[in-house]
Amino acid sequence: MDVAIAILVLLFSLTVHESAHALAALRMGDDTASRMGRITLNPLAHIDPIGTIVVPLVMALLPGGIMFGWAKPVPVNTLRLRNPMRDHAVIAAAGPASNLVLAGVFAVLFGLLDGYAHARLQSGIVDLGAAYTFLRLLTQWGVLLNILLALFNLIPLPPLDGSWIMMAALKDELARSYARLYPYGFLLVIVLMNVGLGRLLWRGVLYVSAWYLQISNLVSRIFV
């Protein structure tokens, strides 16, 4: 059940991530993704069979594997953007930002569940039921996977979102030199993930999730 819940949360989180890209593109003047139906929470509009289904399932089943995946990239027509470099960076940042917000939502829900469990246990009810167990796992995965998606996508290597933010931050000549990484970016990400970046990323996830746990604890004390 744990793996199934994780994949369900990942699918929803990727859907929100890509919808945020599409919505940001529309706000920046490019309606390409909007016309393709990408501003939607229907996961079918965003699913990449390999990145959204096969890779997460394989990673979940591997011992010590980090659950991650990707959806269909949102198309961006830079000719429609008013300030292409800056606007593309904003569009790129919208995806990770949406995941950090979503992690906060899941943290609040986790806090409510924790408060509910505490109140029930105080009243002498030990068995909290299958629904509680399911929702607790759902919210835990919601926090962890959304932080993971945000941090992973902020890595400043193409084709990740962080690369567009980096491009906008660099001066013209440096940006052109940096752009030469794009044909090799995905391979570079895979290699680095297997030689230590993956472990470093997971440490970052655990560090950030500790801050989100503070949100959960606060909600648990105040609202329940």
Question: Length of the chain in residues, anyone?
Answer: 224
Q: Which two tokens stand for residue 47?
A: 């699913």
Kindly list the catalytic residues: 18
CA distances from 164 to 45, 67, 80, 84, 172 (A): 23, 24, 17, 11, 13
Residues 201 and 199: their CA atoms lie apart, in Å, by: 5
DSSP letter for 31, please.
-
The long-range contacts involving 169-174, CB below 8 angstroms and separated by at least 24 positions, are: 169/89
Residues 73 and 166: their CA atoms lie apart, in Å, by: 18
Residues 30 and 103: their CA atoms lie apart, in Å, by: 28
Q: For residue 175, what are the contacts with CB-CB under 8 A and spacing of at least 6?
A: 85, 167
